[in-house]
Amino acid sequence: MPKKFYVTTPIFYANASPHMGHAYAIVLADMIARFHREKGEDVYFLTGTDEHGIKNLRSSENAGKDVIQFLDEQAEKFRALAESLGSSHDQFIRTTDKKIHYPGATAMWEKLSTSGDIYKGEYEGLYCVGCENFKMEKDLVDGKCQDHNTEPERIRQENYFFRLSKYADCIKEAIEKGELSVIPESRKNEILSMLEGGLEDVSFSRPVKDLPLGIPVPGDATQTMYVWCDALTNYISALGYGSGDDQNLKKFWPADLHVIGKDILRFHAALWPGMLLSAGLALPKEILVHGLIMSDGRKMSKTIGNVIDPKDYLETYGMDAFRFYLAHEINPFEDGNFTDEKFKEAYNAYLVNGIGNLASRIMKMASSYLLEPVRINEEIKIPGYLEAFERHDIFSAIHAVSDFSAELDRIITEKTPFKLYKTDPEKAREIVSELVSSLASIARAIRPIMPTSAFVIESAIKENTALPPLFPRK
């Protein structure tokens, strides 16, 4: 039986239109999903939208729309983005889905309650709607949330709490031992130092009058579940948890990899493991914490309003070029920048003049000189590529491909098979065959990153035909 691999993206707030940051998370997870499919694994890839909470409610009010209609329209934008990015997800979950998600979230609550980890209490605190989270005074700068530049609201209410404090040691141990691996190391250290001081219990519901948009607390119609309690559960409700058919749950849980941004590390590496431990479910194996895409020196965010729309680039340059930029120019473990200038530079240097030109040069010679297609050995012989991809270091993996491609260019310049063909066609054929075989390695290696280009190159190799320019000059 092939190994299974379950990978997820965060589910995105449906409150505004998707931007580059969301595109990044989807593409990153998709490249990893595709890489594992290439290895022959049985992959399940989940993405979707987070549609409850105050943030979504207020946005629908501001848009002057019926909330259901608003959420349907917004979710559609994320679904369309995922599609235009070439995302190969197996499921797109919406937390407003009453058939799939509600039973899962309800079952989770009941399980936590049976474990004795839900209790009623009173809470007073400062709530940032942008973060959908309570804030401590010490987290604020000039009384404002640093991420959203807004003053949090003071909330005082009776609600339910989740006894997260009980699980702090257990979570810490799982992370220290690598049973729950958090990468990169810097994020692992960040969460460990947070766990060092223990964890506080979490306010887990809101009165319906304050938060009508959400899943009702089982057995108490006056309360709505806290949006994060409901949202995190998507990773198992999508597999059938709570809704009767748990075949996928048995097969794919625990998750092999949650891909998340560093902004939601605490929820995934503390709250979520706490909920899973309380519910008696296995912990995810790994959390990949990617950096954020910045714009004007701040996190690109719908709430902040400094966003760049991926659509513009997808339309002008196409899906593969866009995915290439995210892989080649943004290190998943660090913050990155998206600028028009950088995009054009990378497009011209590495695609038009790089891989695109190389593939055309090689296939032009191959289709003119070779008598039959080159037989391809399926292995990828690019130094460092596989090892990097295994570590989810797509940045290094694609750089290994660019370096390899530059090396092939150098070989062509040095050995000039196009000249040699006139005097020694046999020798020229030998050189070109080797080049084709190396090009096949490149095509194979870029399958997870630029699936369309990979397919076009591989088809040309199979048929031994010339290639039109893959990346038109812009």
Decide if 128 is catalytic: yes
Instruction: Tell me the pairing of strands 140-141 and 144-145.
Output: antiparallel
Which position among 262, 299, 392, 399 bears the catalytic label?
Answer: 299
Nearer to ligand ME8, 25 or 355 (CB): 25
Q: Are 202 and 161 in contact (CB under 8 A)?
A: yes
Active-site residue, 89 included = no
Is-catalytic flag, 99?
no
Chain contacts with ligand ME8 (rule: CB under 6 A): 10-13, 21-22, 24-25, 50, 231-232, 234, 260-261, 263-264, 292-293, 299-301
Nearest to 270 by CA among 199, 333, 204, 205: 199
Q: How many whole angstroms separate alpha carbon 299 and alpha carbon 321?
A: 23
- Of 22, 111, 262, 328, the catalytic one is 22
Select 272 or 389, whichever has its Cβ closest to ligand ME8.
272
What are the Cα distances from residue 69, in Å, to 21, 63, 74, 252, 342? 25, 11, 9, 33, 38
229 carries an active-site annotation: no
Nearer to ligand ME8, 281 or 370 (CB): 281
- Strands 216-217, 4-13: parallel, antiparallel or unpaired by DSSP? unpaired
Contact call for residues 224 and 211 (beta carbons, < 8 A): yes
Reading the block at residue 178, the tokens are 């690598």
CB of 21 to ligand ME8, least distance (A): 2
Q: Which of 19, 36, 52, 268 is catalytic?
A: 19
Per the CB < 8 A criterion, the answer to whether 212 and 188 are in contact is no
Our answer to whether residue 328 is catalytic in this structure is: no
Catalytic residue at 101? no
Residue number, 359 or 449, with CB nearest to ligand ME8: 449
Helix (H, G, I), strand (E, B) or coil at 118: strand
Residue in 9, 5, 8, 19 with CA at minimum distance from that of residue 302: 19
CB of 264 to ligand ME8, least distance (A): 5
Q: Which of 111, 145, 188, 399 is catalytic?
A: 145
Q: Tell the residue number behind the tokens 């020196």, with chain if given.
A: 297
Q: Is residue 52 annotated as a catalytic residue, yes or no?
A: no
Question: Is 299 noted as a catalytic residue in this protein?
Answer: yes
- Compute the least distance from the CB of residue 382 to ligand ME8, in Å: 27
Please tell me which residue in 36, 111, 128, 258 is annotated as part of the active site: 128
Joined tokens for residue 143: 């009384």
In angstroms, the CA 395 to CA 363 distance is: 27
Evaluate whether 161 touches 127 at the Cβ level (below 8 Å).
no
For residue 18, the minimal CB distance to ligand ME8 (Å) is: 8
Selecting among 4, 65, 77, 148, the annotated active-site residue is: 148
- Closest CB to ligand ME8 among residues 236, 359: 236
Closest distance of CB 340 from ligand ME8, Å:
17
- Could you check whether the bond before residue 417 is cis, i.e. omega within 30 degrees of 0? no
Question: Shortest Cβ contact with ligand ME8: which residue?
Answer: 21
292 vs 382, beta carbon nearer ligand ME8: 292
Q: Angle of helix 185-196 relative to helix 168-176, nearest 10 degrees?
A: 150
Give 296 or 378: the residue with its C-beta nearer to ligand ME8. 296
- Which is catalytic among the residues 36, 55, 89, 131? 131
What beta strand segments (E) does 348-472 contain? none
Residues with a catalytic annotation lie at 19, 22, 128, 131, 145, 148, 299, 302
